[in-house]
Structure 1
Amino acid sequence: MSRLTKIFLDDFGVFLGRKRNRFVVKKGEEKHEFLADDVESIICTSKAVALSVSALSLAVDRNIQVIFATYSGRPYAVLMPTVMTGSVRARREQFLAYMDERGFILAKSFVKGKIKNQANLLKLIAKNRKQRDPSLAYFLYRSGRLIDEVYERVEDEEGSNIDDKRLDLMNLEAEAARIYWRAIARILPEGLKFNGRETRGARDPFNAMLNFGYQAVLFPEVWKAVCYAGLDPYAGFLHADRPGKPSLVLDLMEEFRQQVVDRSLISLFSKNVIKPEDVLAVGVEAEEGRVLGKRVVQSMLDALLSRLDRAVMFGGRRGSLKSFIYSQSRNVVRFLLRVSSRYEPFILGW
């Protein structure tokens, strides 16, 4: 089965139009056509793109998500059909679960998934570098084991209301993150000058790449999965409520950040696809407001989309990483409706 296309609009003077059941992308004399049935989503990161209402109508009719984002990848609007799948009952139970043990169990599971994937990714990289750099491999493996110890402490946490336990879970998550990013810094080229994780507004190369990967690629995929499962993207459990904050999307993203984004970006440097000095935009590209160079963004998109389509094993089933984002959203619904007594976070082995 061929990969569905993501149309990425990130340049000045680009026009997205429609020709019957096709999307037409034009810039000057250059023109590309995409059959609607082959398009999965449309991502627009430039303020100088023109889109026809007819093209947007075609996207809505075919359930094609349209994401509007900044150059850094941060989405500020998503266009989706008003008619969605999923039951109203699931959303009602989602709100009720916040006040009972289900909210705590889900929040705890999201943290478990995140930190176990952090540990397993470090141990996988250690295994692959054991012959080439035994000292680094030992450090990475040891770091993974330290995160495993934090995981056990999360496992021991008990509670019946997430408001009473959120700070404890977040503190353990932060402890694991410090170990993880310290280890990741040892893997990356020195030219990246990576000194730890920074989120919004980061201008250093690797943090800017991480932010773009999380926001422009992973976030829209999880948003779509959550909405199609019939859940409210703003009513989360681990991430606290805040106006405009898609807390449930951020919750579920925790299980996939390492295996989708972190692993892909680390690989781009280890395989010399991207060089540190080429990451940030310069010259005209920087003047346009870009953070990352256009060629770097394209390399990232190729790697991230390929990773989403990569087949993996989880829960006794083989499927693409992307398919598990959708099945995990449905598993949240099954747990909320008490069809399933447990919710198992997405975790890949090493």
Structure 2
Amino acid sequence: MHLVLNSFGASIRKENGLFAVSTAAGKQMIPPADVTSISVSKGARISSDAVLLAIEHEIDVLFVDGLGKPQGRVWSIRYGSISSIRRSQVEFLFSPRSVEWARDLVDEKINNQIALLLALNVGQDERTERLLRYAINSMEDHRGKIRKLEGESVSDISPTLRGWEGAASKRYFEALSACLPEGYRFEKRSRQPAEDRFNAMLNYAYGMLYGKVEGALIKAGLDPYTGIFHRDDYNRPALVFDVIEKYRIWADYVVVQLCRQEAMSEECFSETEGLGLMLDGLGKRILIQSVNDYLAEVIELNGLRRSRQEHIQRQAFELASLFQKAAQPMPDNE
């Protein structure tokens, strides 16, 4: 269970070894064993005893902004960057293997986007089908160019890689918009502020993913601030920006399905000067539940059946192992 406190005045404290969650709707007692994470928004409160109870049970506590993006977190001292992994992480950054890793990361992201467009290209009118075919062909062309990129380190290919990634994403979102009901279509990807319903929903869904990916990296002993592809994002969790690329499609899918079902009415949004269109209380509840339900679904990846959330954690451990193996000296040839 993911506890989300996103209404003003909501609080969580410890009572008799349980989490006592108080909202305008009443009070609920929840055992720590049933909780996987706690998310606290502005205007909500959590007591120090509740924080310590969460730490004791290895429960993530995140403090998030209005877009659902984590601004701070509390975790057990058992976690944290392990020095040997961190050294390996930095060494990997400047190795030729980082080029292959970054190239494969962006290639996988675009391939995921193409797969979603193909799934949506069913029952569309002729004009939309042409637009989807054009976008997919263009994105496949970008993938081909990306796979041919070579260099000694990521910095050698980053400008070109970012360019092809951006071009592919532009085609992707243009095609995605055409597949949505009229009231949910959008002109372009807009972040802060969001200019439309789709982007307001997607920004919040991405914010949720940031928190989950960062937590997985921390538990794996990785430094979330030392990125490979997004290495220039100073004083920001650059590795989170890297790793989330392969999971963005999950947020995309959830938001697209909500839009196609027209699940978000006008009362799910509010517009604030300077902040653009944002999800309101009801909208947040619908999206948070939808994202968490989707991440809890069990799927098969690389021969393993796990929930999507567990796959994120498993792949974080695999990334730490990759960094360490890449840092090991090659044996001398006899």
**Same fold? TM cut 0.5:** yes
Counterpart of 2:34 (choices 22, 34, 38) is 38
Quote the offset at 1:339 in angstroms: 6.9
Matched residue, 1:11:
7
Are the equivalent residues in 1 in contact too, given 2:69–2:204 (CA < 8 A)? yes
Match of 1:226 in 2: 217
Q: How does 1:103-142 map to 2 (within 5 A)?
A: 103-126=98-121, 129-130=122-123, 133-142=125-134
What pairs up with 1:40-79 in 2 under 5 angstroms?
40-46=36-42, 48-79=43-74
Assess if the C-alpha contact under 8 Å between 1:60 and 1:80 holds in 2.
yes
- Please tell me the residue identity of whatever aligns with 1:176: A
| Residues in 2 aligned to 1:298 and 1:159: alpha-carbon distance in whole angstroms | 46
Alignment equivalent of 2:184, drawn from 189, 192, 197: 192
- For 1:294, the equivalent position in structure 2 comes to 281
Q: Which amino acid aligns with 2:308?
A: L
1:255 is matched with 246
Equivalent of 1:334 in 312, 321, 324? 321
2:270 match: secondary structure = coil
User: Which residue type is aligned with residue 234 of structure 1?
Assistant: Y
- Aligned-pair distance for 1:78? 1.0
Aligned to 2:332: none
Within 5 Å, which residues of 2 pair with 1:283-322? 291-322=278-309
Q: Which residue of 2 aligns with 1:146?
A: 138
1:23 matches 2:19: yes
Provide the rounded CA distance (Å) in 2 between the counterparts of 1:89 and 1:163.
24
The answer on 1:214 being equivalent to 2:203 is no
In 2, Cα distance between the equivalents of 1:138 and 1:308? 32
The whole-number CA distance in structure 2 between the counterparts of 1:240 and 1:339 is: 18
3-state SS in 1 of match to 2:29: strand
Greater Cα shift, 249-258 or 134-143: 134-143
Equivalence for 1:345:
none
Q: 2:158 aligns with which of 154, 157, 166?
A: 166
Distance 2:31 2:327 in 1: 39
Q: Could you tell me how far 1:141 is from its partner in structure 2?
A: 4.0
- TM-score after normalising by structure 2: 0.90
**What is the match of residue 269 of structure 1?**
259
1:44 alignment partner AA: V
Secondary structure (helix, strand or coil) at the match of 1:281 reads strand
Whether the aligned pair in 1 keeps the contact of 2:40 and 2:46 (CA below 8 Å) is no
Match of 1:280 among 260, 269, 283: 269
Residue 319 (structure 2) pairs with residue 324 (structure 1):
no
**CA shift at 1:322, angstroms?**
1.5
Kept in 1, the 8 Å contact 2:92–2:326? The answer is no
Flag structure 1 segments of 5+ consecutive residues without an equivalent.
342-350
Instruction: Give the Å deviation of 1:140.
Output: 2.2
59-68 vs 328-337, which deviates more? 328-337
CA RMSD of aligned residues (A): 2.4
Deviation of the 1:314 alpha carbon: 2.3
- The amino acid of 2:263's aligned partner reads V
What is the CA–CA distance in structure 2 between the aligned matches of 1:85 and 1:52, rounded to whole Å?
23
The verdict on how the C-alpha distance between 1:317 and 1:141 changes in structure 2, with shifts beyond 3 A counting, is: farther
Q: What is the SS of the residue equivalent to 2:300? A: strand
Supply the distance in 1 between the matched residues of 2:277 and 2:197 (Cα, whole angstroms).
Answer: 12
Q: What letter is aligned with 2:311?
A: F
8 Å CA contact 1:205–1:279 kept in 2: the answer is: no
Asked if the contact 2:69/2:210 (under 8 Å) is kept, the reply is no
- Counterpart of 1:280, as a letter, is F
Distance across 1 between alignment mates of 2:229 and 2:9? 41
CA separation in 1, counterparts of 2:18 and 2:243?
33
| Contact 1:281-1:294 at 8 Å conserved across structures | no
Q: Which residue of 1 aligns with 2:89?
A: 94
Contact 2:194 2:277 in 1 (8 A): no
How far does residue 202 in structure 1 lie from its aligned partner after superposition? Answer: 2.1
Number of matched pairs: 327
TM-score by length of 1: 0.86
The superposition leaves residues 63-100 of structure 1 with CA deviations (integer Å, 9 ceiling, x where unpaired) of 11111111122221111112217853221100111111
Residue in 1 that maps onto 2:236? 245
Residues 290, 157 of structure 1: alpha-carbon distance in 2 compared, 3 angstrom cutoff: closer
- State which of 175, 180, 184 in structure 2 corresponds to 1:183: 175
CA contact (8 A) 2:98 2:154 kept: yes
